């Protein structure tokens, strides 16, 4: 797994940080969410998951991450909990337990999706 460099402030934007992960410079907000979901290669997911304390990474994690990203790019918003449950056929409790930080602070961050605080509705 590629080691991520320490974040450095993006000039003029104190709430944005630029980090190099897997050879790519990626802009994050102050809470560690990607500013642009299109800047997300899968190696970023592995690095962010490891940083969050996720010790084991398997196909179930990828299933959730890929569903969340596909839904986001198809619908322009992140899936609601009911959509997640139906899309990956897991209970909400099982989904929350997959990532440290649960769905919002864990899976959503690892998937490279926007900060929940920046989304309307």
SS3 22: coil
**Which domains does the chain possess?**
8-118 (1.10.10.370)
Distance CA 72, CA 37 (A): 9
Number of CB atoms found within 10 A of residue 31's CB: 13
What is the rounded average pLDDT for all residues in the chain?
85
CA distances from 63 to 10, 57, 107 (A): 33, 11, 11
Taking 60 as the threshold, does the pLDDT of residue 101 lie above it?
Answer: yes
Give tens-digit pLDDT for 76-89.
989 999 999 999 99
pTM: 0.81
Query: Around 116, how many Cα atoms within 13 Å sit in the side-chain half-sphere?
Result: 12
């Amino acid at each position: 797994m590629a080691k991520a460099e320490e974040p450095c402030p993006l000039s003029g934007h104190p709430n944005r940080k630029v980090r190099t992960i897997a050879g790519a410079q990626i802009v994050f907000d102050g809470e560690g969410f990607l500013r642009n979901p299109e800047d997300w290669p899968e190696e970023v997911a592995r690095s962010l998951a490891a940083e969050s304390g996720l010790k084991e990474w398997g196909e179930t994690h990828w299933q959730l991450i890929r569903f969340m990203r596909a839904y986001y790019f198809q619908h322009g918003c992140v899936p609601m909990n009911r959509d997640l449950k139906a899309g990956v056929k897991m209970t909400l409790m099982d989904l929350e337990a997959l990532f440290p930080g649960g769905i919002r602070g864990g899976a959503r961050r690892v998937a490279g999706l926007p900060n929940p605080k920046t989304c309307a509705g």
